[in-house]
């Protein structure tokens, strides 16, 4: 187990995964409830969220490089998020125009990273690793939907993004519960 992400430091932060999951679900529901108002705000939120996510991914990758064989994937994802977040914040008009492509690609990347994480926790004693894998696949499918059908307008991207954020939230809550169960059982 010493070569896994499931280190003492990582399992101590089980509650953070659950809190982030709740935030993602709440934001996903909000996006679905006010779709027309959501698009410009989604652009700003997306740029900030990518930047913050990138910073956390970089930190997690560096802290866990001695415990994970896949730490370079997390570092790559974090660097990509950080660079894209800075570019998007610098030009919000461009962000609104490119949102379908950028959001779809980001969601696909998140899904891939979640699949890698699910396969990594499979090495531990996580009996529900396949649930994490399933959500990773669903998240990728939402990202692909956004990439393939952006011409349906803002409603498609808003609702697909809403669903993707809810799925990311469920993934994080499930992962947090797995970490909690691993730590205390």
Q: Is residue 2 a part of any domain in this protein?
A: no
Q: Is residue 155 a part of any domain in this protein?
A: yes
Q: Is residue 1 a part of any domain in this protein?
A: no
Cα dihedral 135, 139, 140, 145 sign = positive
Instruction: Write out the residue range of the structural domain in which residue 28 sits.
Output: 8-184
Q: How do the pLDDT tens digits run along the chain, 185 residues long?
A: 444 555 555 677 788 889 889 988 998 898 888 776 667 777 787 788 778 888 888 887 888 788 777 788 889 988 988 998 898 888 888 877 787 887 788 889 889 988 988 888 787 666 778 888 998 999 899 888 888 887 655 567 778 788 888 998 998 898 888 888 877 76
pTM equals 0.64
Among 114, 60, 115, 58, which Cα is nearest to 86's?
58
Q: Is residue 17 a part of any domain in this protein?
A: yes
Q: Is residue 110 a part of any domain in this protein?
A: yes
Residues with Cβ within 8 Å of 107's Cβ and at least 6 positions away in sequence, in order, are 139, 140, 142, 143, 146, 161, 164, 168
Q: Is residue 56 a part of any domain in this protein?
A: yes
Q: Is residue 3 a part of any domain in this protein?
A: no
Number of domains in the chain: 1
Q: Is residue 36 a part of any domain in this protein?
A: yes
């Amino acid at each position: 187990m010493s070569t896994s992400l499931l280190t003492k430091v990582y399992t101590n932060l089980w509650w953070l995964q659950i809190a982030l999951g709740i935030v993602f679900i709440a934001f996903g529901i909000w996006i679905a409830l006010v779709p027309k108002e959501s698009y410009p705000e989604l652009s700003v939120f997306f740029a900030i969220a990518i930047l913050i996510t990138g910073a956390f991914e970089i930190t997690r990758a560096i802290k866990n490089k001695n415990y994970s064989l896949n730490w370079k994937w997390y570092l790559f994802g974090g660097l990509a998020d950080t660079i894209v977040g800075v570019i998007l914040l610098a030009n919000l008009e461009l962000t609104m125009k490119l949102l379908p492509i950028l959001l779809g690609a980001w969601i696909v990347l998140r899904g891939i990273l979640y699949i890698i994480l699910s396969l990594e926790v499979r090495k531990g004693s996580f009996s529900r690793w396949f649930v994490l894998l399933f959500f990773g696949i669903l998240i990728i499918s939402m990202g692909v939907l956004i990439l393939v059908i952006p011409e349906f307008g803002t409603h498609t991207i808003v609702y697909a993004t809403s669903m993707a954020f809810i799925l990311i939230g469920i993934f994080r809550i499930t992962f947090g519960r797995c970490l909690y169960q691993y730590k205390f059982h």
